[in-house]
Structure 1
Amino acid sequence: MKVAIISVSNKGQELAHDLKDNLDSDSTILKCDLYHKNVKKYFPILFYEYDAIIAVMASGILIRSIAPLVESKVTDPAVINIDDNGQFVISTLSGHLGGANEFANKVAALIDATPVITTSTDVNNKLGIDVLAKDLYLSIDNTKEILHFNKAILEGREISITLNPNRNFEYLFEYLNNVTLEINVSINYSSKVNTDEIHVSFEGHELILRERKVVAGIGCRRGKECKYIYNGLKKSLDDLKILPSRVNMLTSAEIKKDEKGILELSEKLNIPVEFVDIDKLKLFESSDVSKSEFVYSKFGIYGVCEPSALIMAGFDSELIYKKTSYDGVTIAVAVSK
């Protein structure tokens, strides 16, 4: 997630700096930039350049600033609003698909504030179908149907989920078992459903949730044992709150193609592994990728786990977990659009 924090007062600016210090150490935050004053100038830029905006200011200033920019719950960034004293963190825009509700809870915990969530499903302890899709990195084919399904969920009606019997959906079942919000579902199976799809239906209405491709990039010292690579991967996935069964692919650079620990991990988790050509890594450019002079001095490339993950996740993919080191192992996670 790329985050912008914008403030208007000196007190708000101090809070913004403190918050940035906390967010910079979070592996799910790719970058966090600070802006101060000039809200009319900055908001039109922030709205399209960042996944989330933290506005430390009065709600009136925020609402008047973003009103002309709001387009759709599918494309609008998450926007949260904090008062200058840091007492309340309000999820203001894109609570579900944009992740503002979850992000508001995270930020509130960091500054010991009270999160304010107003979406109907959340305040009634219900699991919105768009929240499920967001949490499990699933795309929704017909977002106009979301309101219909969430209304049914609010009323306690039963939603039908149909899966392909040949696909391991452990991640979905574990999520439904562990989530604290309520949803009434029945599970059905049909070979007519594609293996990467989850069909959701209710009284003639249907949503198709499709898996976005989740790719874990791995870098490691030569000879690193499987258990250490697994531990690093598991810690990263725990931060993302997803199971290994949700990962579609493991990847690394071709210089690691005979790395026993990575090959054993692929077999252990039953997740395919692909190794990216050095030439592709040399040519790959992205402002989101961190550069290591040490790696460049040894292999002629600036990184392994981040570019490998982005390349294998496909065109226009994005990092959801920046390069993080675990005792000789580096992990990054990318997801397709």
Structure 2
Amino acid sequence: MTTILTYSDKGEQTAKQIVSLGFDAKILRSPKLDQTLWNESSLFVFIGAMGICVREIAPFLKDKKTDPAVINMDVNGKFVQPVLSGHQGGANEKAEHIARLLGAIPVLTTVSDTSNLWGLDMLPKQFDWKLEAGSNLTKLMASFVNGKKTALLLECRDRGTLFLETSKPDHVEVFYNTDDLKVDDFEVILAVTPYLHNLGNKAIYYRPAMINMGMGAQKDIDALEFESVVKTSLKENGLSFLSLAEIGTVDIKKDEEAFVAFSENTDLTLQVFGNEELSAYQVPNPSEKVEEVTGSASVSEAVAMHLSKNELFVPKQKLQIKDKFATIACAIDKRKERKGFIEFVGAGPGDPELVSVRGKRLLQTADFILYAGSLVPKELTHYAKPGCVVKSSAGMDLDTQIAEMRPFYDRGLFVVRLHTGDPCIYGAIQEQMAVLDKDNMDYHITPGISSFQAAAAALESQFTIPEEVQSIILTRGEGRTPMPPREKLSEFAKFQSTMCIYLSASIADKVQAELLEGYPEETPVAVCYKLTWKEEKVVRCQLKDLAKTVKDNNLTMTTMIVVGKAIDNRSNLSKLYHKEFKHAFRG
């Protein structure tokens, strides 16, 4: 529960304003703070002088790990300051939230915030990791914020490690395996890893959820004993129990009491699979007995492989549980494993600042960037870290592109394949993915802003008109690559939707002729060259003048043609913000 305490009419007015803006809290006017209220609330917001706040909470303070979060703000809502439990209790986060609601100034005084450093105790909450640290956590955090030499060990790849790699302070050095890390050289070691290492009392461990475990068992095994032996087995195999991500078994064991209890205790959903799914896997330790009972030669191994889409890290372990047996097997989630990996990144329409935040961070951490030549501004590759190899793929065929990426991949390095706009729209990634699939190479796609979106922004136009145009067609003219008959421009033109035509300025005469079969000749057209680049040029005309406009302005490569009445439209406006649609205002 969140409680707002006020001591004046003005303070009460500010409190009601906060609640009216969506902040969920109970408002108390001139309350007497007692132990019951202190215990019931996880956050207090005092509105008034700081002295009142301090005097009220002083008798109840016990321990920073258990005390509720406390915030103080002035009655006019100009300054919002965390007083207690800034990190662990979330006071800093809530203070910033209130400040955004009111347009106030958050006053954060914790060292990590004022120094623009990571809040080491907040990283688990931020990235869904589990924290494992000894009693010297506070001391190590102090050393970190004081700029002591710190090692960052990253043995997984996820959203959190991407953030750490691209925002690390100067006193932090990154390592990707323990063989390169000399413990004695550092005062603090931050280890993001599912693996058990003995790094001494200098280490703070962050356990990412990336171990997937399959389970099998005889009927009615002891539930408490099962959890205990699982922990022991994982430890013996060098894995942290805290990094368990997913668990599963065969469908006929879904009601096994030990598995259900294990699921509840770990807060992990027990996933169940049929023999058809499990029998598809070639496991190292098949069992005729298991196949006789379940229809699959494996349960634990096949489930682990199925959950992780990866080979086994821990093959089937037979666990003695009193007079019965259980089996487990583990695999590392392929999506988070730190090994060779290729990321297709959408560069956006051109402006380096229009790449996504994630795309920028991927570029900053890549070991090799292969970018799409003249279609992608070279400035985007300037995000590369020192030591990153950058090459243009202009003039490369598919085999050459794969050959350029493969050596980096095989060495366990990170490759970014940088495509213009969004890779899924005329990005030619399908052919590359087919080869990668065939060779069992791992990849992922990060979307980008497409040039059709950049066109709408440049034209200051909404490409849909209520009750008139509700569809946007993304297509191209028919050049050397034939178009299906149903997708010819003349067929699409019959709909008179907003049409964004890629890769077609060189055949503008043909494009104009086909469009005139469906659109009126006075239909607005915009010819957009190198949208968001420094050389951007946008020329408006009517459809009847399209070919002449393209020719007169010498617009060919990197040009999009936009056609439709939505261009520059300011009529038939949406009713979304009319009075009868008040419920939609917050959107």
So what's the TM-score if we normalise by structure 2? 0.31
Task: Indicate the structure whose relative CO is greater, using CA pairs within 8 Å and at least 6 residues apart.
Answer: 1
Which of 189, 205, 229 pairs up with 1:208? 205
> In structure 1, how many angstroms separate the alpha carbons of the residues matched to 2:71 and 2:144?
25
Against the structure 1 CA distance between its residues 34 and 47, is the aligned structure 2 distance closer, same or farther, given a 3 Å change threshold?
A: same
Find the counterpart in structure 1 of residue 163 from structure 2: 175
2:160 is paired with a residue of what secondary structure?
A: helix
Query: What is the percentage of aligned positions where both structures have the same residue?
Result: 27
> In structure 2, how many angstroms separate the alpha carbons of the residues matched to 1:112 and 1:194?
37
Against the structure 1 CA distance between its residues 23 and 71, is the aligned structure 2 distance closer, same or farther, given a 3 Å change threshold?
A: farther
Find the counterpart in structure 2 of residue 256 from structure 1: none
> In structure 2, how many angstroms separate the alpha carbons of the residues matched to 1:182 and 1:154?
12
- Residue deviations 1:158-199 (CA, integer Å, cap 9, x gap): 323445x5xx541221231465977724234469x9965797
Which of 27, 30, 37 pairs up with 1:34? 27
- Residue deviations 1:104-161 (CA, integer Å, cap 9, x gap): 1111111111111111221122213113234234444446423322222223333234
Against the structure 1 CA distance between its residues 188 and 63, is the aligned structure 2 distance closer, same or farther, given a 3 Å change threshold?
A: same
Q: Is the 8 A contact 2:193 2:206 kept in 1?
A: no
> In structure 2, how many angstroms separate the alpha carbons of the residues matched to 1:158 and 1:118?
23
Please state how far the C-alpha of 1:56 moved relative to its aligned partner.
0.9
1:80 is paired with a residue of what secondary structure?
A: strand
Which of 175, 179, 198 pairs up with 1:187? 175
Number of equivalenced pairs: 212
Say if 2:5 is the partner of 1:6: yes
Matching residue's letter, 2:160? L
Q: Is the 8 A contact 1:153 1:159 kept in 2?
A: yes
Find the counterpart in structure 2 of residue 96 from structure 1: 87
Against the structure 1 CA distance between its residues 150 and 102, is the aligned structure 2 distance closer, same or farther, given a 3 Å change threshold?
A: same
1:5 is paired with a residue of what secondary structure?
A: strand
Please state how far the C-alpha of 1:21 moved relative to its aligned partner.
2.0
> In structure 2, how many angstroms separate the alpha carbons of the residues matched to 1:212 and 1:68?
40
Q: What are the within-5 Å matches in structure 2 for residues 231-242 of structure 1?
A: none
Matching residue's letter, 1:151? A
Find the counterpart in structure 2 of residue 23 from structure 1: 22
Say if 2:114 is the partner of 1:132: no
- Residue deviations 1:192-217 (CA, integer Å, cap 9, x gap): x996579796x84233334689xxxx
Q: Is the 8 A contact 2:130 2:207 kept in 1?
A: yes
Q: Is the 8 A contact 1:12 1:85 kept in 2?
A: yes
Q: Is the 8 A contact 1:140 1:210 kept in 2?
A: yes
Find the counterpart in structure 2 of residue 62 from structure 1: 53
Q: Is the 8 A contact 1:139 1:209 kept in 2?
A: yes
> In structure 2, how many angstroms separate the alpha carbons of the residues matched to 1:40 and 1:68?
10
> In structure 2, how many angstroms separate the alpha carbons of the residues matched to 1:143 and 1:104?
29
Please state how far the C-alpha of 1:39 moved relative to its aligned partner.
3.1
Q: What are the within-5 Å matches in structure 2 for residues 223-262 of structure 1?
A: 248=245
- Residue deviations 1:4-31 (CA, integer Å, cap 9, x gap): 212121211111111112234xxxxxx5
2:25 is paired with a residue of what secondary structure?
A: strand
Runs of 5+ consecutive residues of structure 1 not aligned to the other structure: 25-30, 214-245, 251-271, 277-337
Against the structure 1 CA distance between its residues 17 and 153, is the aligned structure 2 distance closer, same or farther, given a 3 Å change threshold?
A: same
Find the counterpart in structure 2 of residue 232 from structure 1: none
Say if 2:156 is the partner of 1:154: no
Against the structure 1 CA distance between its residues 247 and 19, is the aligned structure 2 distance closer, same or farther, given a 3 Å change threshold?
A: farther
Tell me how large the CA RMSD over aligned residues is: 4.0
Q: Is the 8 A contact 1:4 1:35 kept in 2?
A: yes
Q: Is the 8 A contact 2:73 2:79 kept in 1?
A: yes
Q: Is the 8 A contact 1:89 1:108 kept in 2?
A: yes
- Residue deviations 1:19-57 (CA, integer Å, cap 9, x gap): 112234xxxxxx52222212333xx33432233221112
Matching residue's letter, 2:30? K
- Residue deviations 1:249-296 (CA, integer Å, cap 9, x gap): 69xxxxxxxxxxxxxxxxxxxxx96579xxxxxxxxxxxxxxxxxxxx
Please state how far the C-alpha of 1:85 moved relative to its aligned partner.
1.0
> In structure 1, how many angstroms separate the alpha carbons of the residues matched to 2:168 and 2:177?
25
Please state how far the C-alpha of 1:84 moved relative to its aligned partner.
0.7
Against the structure 1 CA distance between its residues 14 and 198, is the aligned structure 2 distance closer, same or farther, given a 3 Å change threshold?
A: farther
> In structure 2, how many angstroms separate the alpha carbons of the residues matched to 1:50 and 1:197?
38
> In structure 2, how many angstroms separate the alpha carbons of the residues matched to 1:46 and 1:197?
43
> In structure 1, how many angstroms separate the alpha carbons of the residues matched to 2:195 and 2:8?
48
Against the structure 1 CA distance between its residues 194 and 57, is the aligned structure 2 distance closer, same or farther, given a 3 Å change threshold?
A: closer
Against the structure 1 CA distance between its residues 113 and 122, is the aligned structure 2 distance closer, same or farther, given a 3 Å change threshold?
A: same
Q: Is the 8 A contact 1:23 1:32 kept in 2?
A: no
Matching residue's letter, 1:8? Y
Matching residue's letter, 1:50? S
Say if 2:74 is the partner of 1:83: yes
1:23 is paired with a residue of what secondary structure?
A: coil
- Residue deviations 1:207-244 (CA, integer Å, cap 9, x gap): 3334689xxxxxxxxxxxxxxxxxxxxxxxxxxxxxxx
Q: Is the 8 A contact 2:131 2:204 kept in 1?
A: yes
Q: Is the 8 A contact 2:7 2:30 kept in 1?
A: yes
Q: What are the within-5 Å matches in structure 2 for residues 252-291 of structure 1?
A: none
Please state how far the C-alpha of 1:80 moved relative to its aligned partner.
0.8
Q: What are the within-5 Å matches in structure 2 for residues 290-309 of structure 1?
A: none
2:21 is paired with a residue of what secondary structure?
A: helix
Runs of 5+ consecutive residues of structure 2 not aligned to the other structure: 180-190, 211-242, 248-267, 273-587
Against the structure 1 CA distance between its residues 111 and 138, is the aligned structure 2 distance closer, same or farther, given a 3 Å change threshold?
A: same
Find the counterpart in structure 2 of residue 316 from structure 1: none
Find the counterpart in structure 1 of residue 63 from structure 2: 72
